[in-house]
Structure 1
């Protein structure tokens, strides 16, 4: 059963908006888990490039790029939390408009929960800071890399790191698809200026 409010300029289904808020909050947890999991999975690849000049040249490019990517994943998680909080606020407001009983219920809804300053929600963990160094291994292998060799590179660790990043990319795609689906449900079933503004990042 739909709980839709129809007024001048907007149509809002509070149930749809509330459900989307919860789904975005779940997506926030999923995105943060991607960042933490990626850093954790790469721990076993520490020292994968060896410790010679070629390894350090690679590390100078790889490590800053890796930190930037994982930090950006955390920022995306913050965005999911922010959207969740805004949608929850909107749902509570629409419930208040619908009837006095719903308005009484909104007093028990924490509309700021999606953006509360808590350890698990605002990326203070900074997963990107736990990424391992790629230099340090003393093993000797002949691995061709763009016409050069990494005499100290560990092929198993390098291969593992590649697999971790590929899995990370796949999970990010999943999160993006999920977020788009949640936003689409709100846009399709509700109308109004506030909802149009909320939908802008997804159009």
Structure 2
């Protein structure tokens, strides 16, 4: 592989890191509060609100059920509005974030459901406010599950970022398509696949280790 191609490979890898990192972080900032809202407004939650819960659930399910390649195209006007373009690494972050947020929300909701209701009832009996219960009971107890949810999301975003390369989103996916597929360089495609597999394994291993540490605090 030529030095120029190696340099391009490195820059593509950094673009993938940027897309996954930013989309995961922003998706978490949106998805975690959304997951909390889904949990507390449930019929069995602290603040039951069936109408709001149903609306949030419909929005979350609608985005989650849309194939990512279709979502990429569907949000192009919104992507242009935010990023000024529908092509490139910055533009790809927009649909990646939109895909990540509801995914995280559902996983966070599931993690919060696993918290012992007795702890919540005990906090309520001691006069804790709803905000205090969320901050000091629900989130700390569900933290291992939330970290696991973020890990799964990051792994999924790696695959989504590669898919974004199909429409010029940059990153390793774009490199694999332009050089490995269109220019018939199988060694480039192989290297892209191997790096993506290794990256996913690293993210999953680090996430699993952190979950185990939090679970045994």
Normalising by structure 2, we get a TM-score of 0.30
Question: Over alpha carbons, which structure has the higher Rg?
Answer: 1
Going by fraction, where is helix more abundant, 1 or 2?
2
Q: Which one has more relative contact order, counting CA pairs under 8 Å at least 6 apart?
A: 1
Higher strand share: 1
